[in-house]
């Protein structure tokens, strides 16, 4: 029964969190050298199994391309390791002798990792590695359609970590995931931070859990081919990017925006590189398989090839077709080609001028990709800078493959499988999430400045009055001194008591 499966899933999650917390408490005592040795061993083990895990992922999910998933696994293991291996994440990580400040890193504790079906093994490896690097433990909830490959990736990481000296249980998972268990995982009292990669509803649940959470939004990425671009080179990169793993990376280009004076060149090059331009009748057929209800992507096309999607729509295309393209003049949830499609399908918009191109890009982002990414092909640096200043995105890829450029494979961006969308997309960060996002920093600061603290006016008035009274006492005492040096002690005592009583009453 489904109810019993939910209970089993929840119990498995609770057990995994308990083991993870106990292991993390032991892991707290590990030095930077011990942590780095563990992370290096895990990265090597995961990298060695990149192909095997890619094959498992494609077989289990029915999405993507083995060779492309292998590359993502290599980015999630080796490239991520190279980017974090020299970072200090244990103990004193920075000392500022000039300002007499010392920074000390400490971990969150136990991380809840939510893994998508589109990138199940690479994301699992990546999240496990950045957790280990920062002395956190992690418990993962795989996508139900990608359980076996995700768990296998985690087992490889866990076994390598233990062999390198890590406490057993530092990496945990739910082998029978359910929505109930995932929701309870995010709210569990011993979970300290959430790394949520998945659909919008899941990310919103992470943010409403009451825990610190790194979530990511949708990536309805516009791609503007500006008139100064090298059209042939740009189109080749765009087709390669769009067909990479059948479009399953959220930073993949979704719609093309092209200046009118080069649009025919772009269409010609699209055809040269495996693009199929749909006619009006074919476009209508493909629209019916992109969305079954307005604004909701049909999950059956996610990660599928252009040829398979065409077959689903009843459209005949050449055997070498890599992407399907339809000319479009509208943007909206009721316009299937304008939404995020997570498959090798493009909308093609023609802009009469530069300002109209910017408007198309903004409308597409506002439909569902604010904060994520934008792709631009241009040889005009001024255009690139203007887009960087004006577009509501967290990363702008220029003259490269947007899909793998955003995750750091072809750019200088931090290698990551979790791409923040910042305040534009309702996220806490606009960064490519990595190890530095899983440590807290405490600061020790010595005093280096002298300040004069002004006293409240009332207190200053009292002190002034007291000073004046004391001066009067001294004056009267001196008057009481006889010529031969004798003092009337009784008289002086009475005067002092009188002044003290007056001061206390004030």
Q: Which residue has the tokens 């001294």?
A: 474
**In the chain, what is the straight-line distance between the N-terminal and C-terminal CA atoms, in Å?**
80
Q: H-helix or E-strand containing 46?
A: helix 32-48
Q: Is residue 361 a contact partner of residue 222, using CB atoms and an 8 Å limit?
A: yes
DSSP assignment, residue 445? E
397, β-bridge pairs? 375
Give burial (CB, 10 Å; 0-12/13-18/19+) of 390: exposed
Helix (DSSP H) and strand (DSSP E) numbers for the chain: 18, 17
Q: How far apart are CA 226 and CA 384, in angstroms?
A: 10
**C-alpha of 113 from chain center:** 12
Q: Is the Cα torsion angle 66, 72, 77, 82 positive or negative in sign? A: positive
Q: Output the six-digit token pair for 285.
A: 């057929």
| Residue 364 burial (CB count, 10 A) | 25
Which residue of the set 149, 223, 250, 361 is catalytic?
250
Q: Which residue has the tokens 């985690």?
A: 154
250 catalytic residue (yes or no): yes
What are the start-end ranges of the H helices in 75-222?
80-84, 120-133, 147-163, 179-187, 200-207
Q: Output the six-digit token pair for 344.
A: 């090798």
Q: How far apart are CA 359 and CA 405, in angstroms?
A: 24
Q: Output the six-digit token pair for 118.
A: 């589109």
Residues acting as catalytic residues: 250
């Amino acid at each position: 029964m489904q109810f019993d499966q939910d209970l089993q899933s929840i119990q498995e999650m609770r057990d995994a969190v308990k083991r993870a917390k106990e292991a993390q408490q032991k892991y707290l005592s590990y030095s930077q050298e011990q942590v780095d040795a563990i992370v290096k061993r895990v990265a090597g083990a995961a990298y060695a199994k990149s192909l095997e895990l890619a094959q498992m992922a494609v077989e289990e999910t029915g999405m993507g391309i083995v060779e492309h998933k292998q590359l993502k696994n290599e980015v999630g293991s080796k490239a991520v390791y190279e980017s974090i291996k020299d970072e200090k994440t244990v103990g004193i990580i920075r000392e500022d002798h000039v300002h007499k400040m010392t920074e000390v890193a400490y971990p969150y504790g136990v991380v809840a990792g939510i893994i998508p079906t589109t990138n199940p093994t690479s994301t699992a490896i990546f999240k496990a590695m950045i957790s280990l690097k920062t002395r956190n433990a992690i418990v993962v909830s795989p996508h139900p359609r990608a359980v076996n490959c995700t768990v296998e990736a985690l087992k490889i990481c866990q076994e390598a970590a233990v062999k390198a000296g890590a406490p057993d249980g530092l990496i945990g998972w739910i082998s029978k995931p359910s929505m109930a268990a995932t929701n309870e995982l995010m709210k569990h009292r011993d979970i300290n931070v959430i790394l949520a990669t998945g659909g919008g509803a899941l990310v919103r649940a992470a943010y409403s859990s009451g825990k610190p959470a790194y979530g990511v939004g949708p990536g309805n990425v516009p791609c503007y081919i500006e008139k100064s671009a090298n059209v042939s080179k740009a189109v080749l990169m765009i087709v390669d990017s769009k067909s990479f793993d059948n479009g399953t990376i959220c930073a993949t280009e979704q719609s093309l925006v092209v200046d009118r004076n080069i649009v025919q060149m772009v269409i010609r090059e699209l055809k040269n590189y495996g693009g199929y331009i749909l006619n009006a009748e074919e476009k209508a057929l493909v629209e019916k398989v992109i969305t079954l209800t307005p604004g909701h992507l049909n999950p059956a096309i996610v990660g599928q090839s252009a040829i398979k999607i065409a077959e689903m729509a009843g459209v005949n295309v050449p055997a070498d077709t890599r992407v399907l393209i339809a000319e479009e003049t509208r943007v909206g949830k009721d316009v299937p080609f304008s939404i995020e499609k997570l498959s090798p399908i493009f909308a093609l918009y023609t802009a009469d001028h530069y300002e109209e191109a910017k408007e198309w890009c903004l409308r597409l982002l506002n439909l569902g990709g604010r904060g994520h990414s934008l792709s631009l092909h241009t040889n005009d640096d001024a255009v690139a800078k203007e887009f960087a200043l004006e577009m509501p995105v967290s990363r702008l890829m220029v003259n490269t493959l947007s899909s793998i450029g955003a995750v750091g494979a072809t750019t200088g961006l931090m290698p990551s499988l979790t791409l923040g969308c910042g305040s534009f997309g309702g996220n806490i960060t606009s960064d490519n999430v990595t190890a530095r996002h899983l440590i807290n920093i405490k600061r020790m600061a010595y005093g280096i400045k002298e300040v004069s603290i002004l006293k409240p006016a009332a207190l200053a008035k009292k002190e002034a009055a007291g000073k004046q009274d004391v001066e009067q006492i001294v004056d009267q005492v001196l008057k009481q001194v006889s010529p031969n040096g004798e003092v009337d002690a009784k008289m002086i005592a009475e005067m002092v008591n009188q002044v003290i009583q007056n001061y206390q009453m004030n």
